[in-house]
Structure 1
Amino acid sequence: MSKTVKDLTAGTAGGIAQVLVGQPFDIVKVRMQTSPKGTYSGMMHCATGILKNEGPLAFYKGTLTPLLGIGVCVSIQFGALENVKRYFAAQNSAKAIGGENGATLSGSQLFTAGVVAGIANGFVSGPVEHIRIRLQTQSSTKPDYKGPFDAIKKIHSAHGLPGLFKGQAVTFLREATGYGVYFLAYEKLVQREMALKGIKRDELSPVNAVLYGAAAGYALWAVIYPIDMIKSRMQTDGFTSATGQKYKSAIDCVRTVWRTEGIAAFTRGLTPTLIRSPFANGATFLGFEMASRVLNSW
């Protein structure tokens, strides 16, 4: 099995773990991000409202899309990341002098690898998250879509590919910025652990994989949360003025939200995100690291 196939497979394992752990928190975040100001007094008000009005299964509404799509997204992330890391490691080794460790990547190289991973991921995560958000925010009594495939069919039929890729520009901005920081943080923590203990990567403790993944997740959201909020607004907005379109562009969305709701709107829904982040991101890296070990042993 080639290294790339192993990376993609291990990334899929990480993505599935991320969705199963993080989905209930994500729906609360999206509802709080996209609902009118004053709809919810806080995270618990939103969560209890969903539970009371829609039942416990509502926390996994739209899960099929991310389970399939995010598995692919995380697979692409890690596949792109590991390939760029190998490219830089080969460059470093060719330039290494007097026993320098060329395989150890610099911070700028790790950030660049993360940016490439994020952009590659964005081609899939944009439409996947768009469909997921449409399903998460639709009425439970009179839904517009029966499921993810019905949503894809109806949106494509009415608005073509641009409809499916709604909010794509801000998605690319979020992915490039966020994953540059995300993988930089995780890889630097792993490098530090390996150097301090004199161990190889496959000797990294599962507990540390979870802890470093959690830390990377917090670094990610510290950078991208306002961007993510704008993305959610764009992806729940109407497609045309006839269907209730509020925002002409991402910039117009930023200006409108700032003017009508104030700066607090850019952090609405942050609490469930911060609670979700260590579990979902810890699970992602644990899934990737453990799956990589199994695959590399074959």
Structure 2
Amino acid sequence: MSKTAKDLTAGTAGGIAQVLVGQPFDIVKVRMQTAPKGTYNGMLDCAGGILKNEGPLAFYKGTLTPLLGIGVCVSIQFGVLEYTKRHFAAQNTRKGHGGPDGKLLSSGQLITAGVLAGLGNGFVSGPVEHIRIRLQTQSNTNPTYRGPFDAIKKISSEYGIKGLYKGQNVTFVREAAGYGVYFWAYEKLVQRELAQKGIRREEIGASSAVLYGAAAGYVLWAVIYPIDMIKSRMQTDGFSPSTGQKYRSTLHCVRTVWKTEGIGAFTRGLGPTLIRSPFANGATFLGFEMANRLLNSF
């Protein structure tokens, strides 16, 4: 198996771990982001309402889409990231930088690798998250879509591929900005431990992978949360004025939310995100690192 194939497979393992751990928190975040102001008194009120009115399985509503899609997304992220890192390492070696094997990448190189990973991921994460959000926010008693495949069929048949990629511009902005700092933070923490302990990457413990992934997750959300909120609003908006469209563009969405709901709307739902982040992102990097070591042992 080639190195890239191993990275893609390990990334899929990380993505599946992320979804299974983070999905219940994500649905609470999305409901709070997209509901009218005053709908919920807070995170616990939202979660309690979901549990009472829709049952415990509602916390995994729309899970099939991210389980399949986010697995592919994270696979792409790590595939692009590791490929770019190897490119920079080879470049460093030729120039005599980055240590004896060129693997000590600079902050600029890590951020660039993360940005490219995010953009590559965005082509898949946009429609995947769009379908997931539609399923997470639809009525439980009179649902528009019977499941992810029904949602894809109905949206694509009526609005084409463009309909599936609703909110894609803001998705690319979120992915590029977020994953640039996300992977930079993780890799810098790994570099620090390698330098302090004089060990190889394969010797970093599972607890470190979880801890560094959790820290990287907090850095990610500190940068992208307001962008993510606008993405959620765009992806739950109507497709046209006749279907309840509120926002003509991303900029119009930002201006409308600011004017009608104030700055607080841009951080609504942050609580469940901050609780979810260390578990989901720790699981992502743990899944990737452990799967990668297993694959490289063959």
Do they fold alike, i.e. is TM over 0.5?
Answer: yes
One-letter code of the match for 1:238?
G
1:25 aligns with 2:16: no
Structure 2 CA distance for aligned equivalents of residues 125 and 102 of structure 1: 32
Secondary structure of the 1:104 match is coil
Post-superposition CA distance 1:2-59 (Å, at most 9, x none): 0000000000000000000000000000000000000000000000000000000000
Structure 1, gaps ≥5 residues long? none
Q: Cα deviation per residue 1:103-146 (whole Å; 9 max; x = unaligned)?
A: 21000000000000000000000000000000000000000000
- Partner amino acid, structure 1, of 2:188: K
Indicate the residue corresponding to 1:156 in structure 2.
156
Q: 2:219 is matched with which residue? A: 219
* Alpha carbons 2:85, 2:105 under 8 Å: kept: yes
> Given the alignment of the two structures, is residue 16 of structure 1 paired with residue 16 of structure 2, yes or no?
yes
Give me the CA root mean square deviation.
1.0
1:185–1:99 CA distance, 2 compared to 1 (3 A): closer
**Amino acid in the other structure paired with 1:94:** R
In the alignment, residue 121 of structure 1 is paired with which amino acid? N
Summarize the alignment of residues 64-103 of structure 1 with structure 2, pairs less than 5 Å apart: 64-96=64-96, 102-103=102-103
Q: How many residues align?
A: 298
CA contact (8 A) 2:98 2:105 kept: no
How many angstroms apart in 2 are the aligned matches of 1:31 and 1:247? 18
TM-score (norm 1): 0.99
Residues 64 and 148, structure 2, Cα contact 8 Å, conserved in 1: yes
* TM superposition score normalised by structure 2: 0.99
1:39 aligns with 2:39: yes
Give, in whole Å, the separation in 1 of the partners of 2:99 and 2:182: 30
Contact 2:209 2:285 in 1 (8 A): yes
- Once the two structures are TM-superposed, the CA of residue 201 in structure 1 deviates from its matched residue by 0.6
The whole-number CA distance in structure 2 between the counterparts of 1:148 and 1:68 is 11
CA deviation after TM superposition for structure 1 residue 99, in Å: 6.3
Residue 101 of structure 1 and its aligned partner are, at CA, apart by 5.2
Contact 2:181-2:220 at 8 Å conserved across structures = yes
Q: Which residue of 2 aligns with 1:191?
A: 191
Aligned 8 A contact 2:134 2:236 in 1: yes
User: Which amino acid in 2 is paired with 1:169?
Assistant: N
| 1:135 equivalent in structure 2 | 135
Q: C-alpha distance in 2, partners of 1:97/1:189? A: 19
Amino acid at match of 1:252: H
Q: Please give the alpha-carbon distance, in whole angstroms, between the structure 2 residues aligned to 1:158 and 1:93.
A: 52
Contact kept, 8 Å, 2:89 with 2:98, in 1: the verdict is no
Distance (whole Å) between structure 1 residues aligned to residue 6 and residue 198 of structure 2: 25
Matching residue's letter, 2:91? Q
Deviations 1:55-74 (A, max 9, x none): 00000000000000000000
Matched-pair identity in % = 80
